[in-house]
Amino acid sequence: MTNYLLAGGGTAGHVNPLLSLADEIMAQSGEHKVWALGTVEGLESTLVPERGYELLTVPRLPMPRKINTYLFKFPSLFLKSIATVKQYIKEKNIDVVVGFGGYASAPAYRAAKELGIPFVVHEANALPGYANRVGARTASAVGVTFRKTDLPKAVLVGMPLRKEVIEITKTDMKFEADVYFGLDPKLTTLLVTGGSLGAKRINETIDASRQLLEAAGIQVIHIVGNRAELPDLIQGGYHRLSYCNRMDLALAAADFAVARSGSATVSELAAVGLPAVLVPYPVGNGEQKLNAAELVEAGGAVLVADAEFTPEYVRSHLIPLISNAKELKSMREKALSVGVRDGSERLLELVNGVLLGKD
């Protein structure tokens, strides 16, 4: 029996791979024990208990960005978080810590190091976050999702994917998916998603292009995100949803996708071989453009800047591409060539290798 502490959270990009690894651990042996470490503010506060795992928490401590009162309080607050994690490790008799980045990972790495417990870093993005850059320097092992991620000791393991996404790589679920969404199986289906929060540019462009897409014989599953001020709507072949709780079926139904290029999205598209136009989030450190690079270079996706994704782009580029069956087949094969469908197994093998080395 092995006791695992999996640290991460905040966003779905951190929580979902954490849960995928947890499920893989328990599938290997029901005698193992898994705890998650996160914050009460992040998505993990609901997703982890819903999956049946106990969530241990630490305060959410962003890195100070300017000189203010918080800057001077941060060191003592961070030390308290480390002490809290050390107590968790001792109480639960933890054998190994696995971190996925985010607020909970930084104190987890330090606590493990100070207690002499091995820890493994998993980096989801092509451009590593601060906690993982620091943690990787002294980690027992480092797993990465993308081949070009620049971290010491990096081993390509891919993204631990949700079980339901893996299932559609093994079973043809298109009929079930078409029935679920009420789609016409004779028409080409476009899946549009900006992630859980949505994407303003993508939403506005697709909404303005509905008639163009319908005239081209393309039906649309448009997931606009919870923050979009657009009501759910079914009109002809256009299906608009604020949230989709069966993304596996949405992927199974689609012939093509338009999406942001978060690491999980890119990994899922490659794993299932779904060709796409990727529109990276234009704000931040540019990580989404880097996430898309490998899939684009392979020919499984096309990269478009946010400002350039307009109704004119839909008319002149997107519709002709979706309507080219030969090109779609080629893009699907190229996407599959870089897809990793066993990321959970690969990461667990890396973690267990560290445990064997400890012995």
C-alpha count within 13 angstroms, C-beta hemisphere, residue 22: 27
- Token pair 């004779």 in the structure block, residue: 186
The whole-number pLDDT of residue 70 equals: 66
Q: Is 72 exposed, middle or buried (0-12, 13-18, 19+ CB in 10 A)?
A: exposed
Mean pLDDT within 268-293: 93
Mean pLDDT within 8-17: 84
Do β-strands 218-223 and 276-278 pair in parallel, antiparallel, or remain unpaired? unpaired
Residues 41-98 have pLDDT tens digits of 888 998 999 999 999 999 987 777 778 776 777 788 889 999 999 999 999 999 999 9
CA distances from 306 to 197, 259, 279 (A): 16, 11, 6
Q: What is the phi-psi region of residue 190: left when phi exceeds 0, alpha when psi lies from -120 to 50, beta otherwise?
A: beta
Please check the confidence at residue 227 and state whether its pLDDT lies above 60.
yes
CA distance 266 to 242: 21
Please check the confidence at residue 277 and state whether its pLDDT lies above 60.
yes
The whole-number pLDDT of residue 198 equals: 59
Could you give all domains of the chain from N- to C-terminal order, each with its CATH number? 3-161+341-358 (3.40.50.2000), 164-338 (3.40.50.2000)
CA distances from 291 to 118, 127, 265 (A): 28, 8, 10
Per the prediction, the chain carries an average pLDDT of: 93
Q: Which two tokens stand for residue 150?
A: 């620049």
Residues 188-219 have pLDDT tens digits of 999 999 876 558 899 999 999 999 999 999 99
Sheet with 54-57, side-by-side order of all strands: 54-57, 33-38, 3-7, 96-99, 119-123, 141-144, 154-156
The whole-number pLDDT of residue 13 equals: 78
- Token pair 């104190």 in the structure block, residue: 107
Closest CA to 54 of 34, 80, 70: 34
Residues 139-180 have pLDDT tens digits of 999 999 999 999 999 999 999 998 899 999 888 899 999 999
Q: Which two tokens stand for residue 120?
A: 């493994």
CA distances from 308 to 125, 294, 320 (A): 24, 21, 17
Q: What is the pTM of this model?
A: 0.91
Residues 300-347 have pLDDT tens digits of 999 999 999 999 999 999 999 999 999 999 999 999 999 999 999 999
Q: Which two tokens stand for residue 58?
A: 């630490």
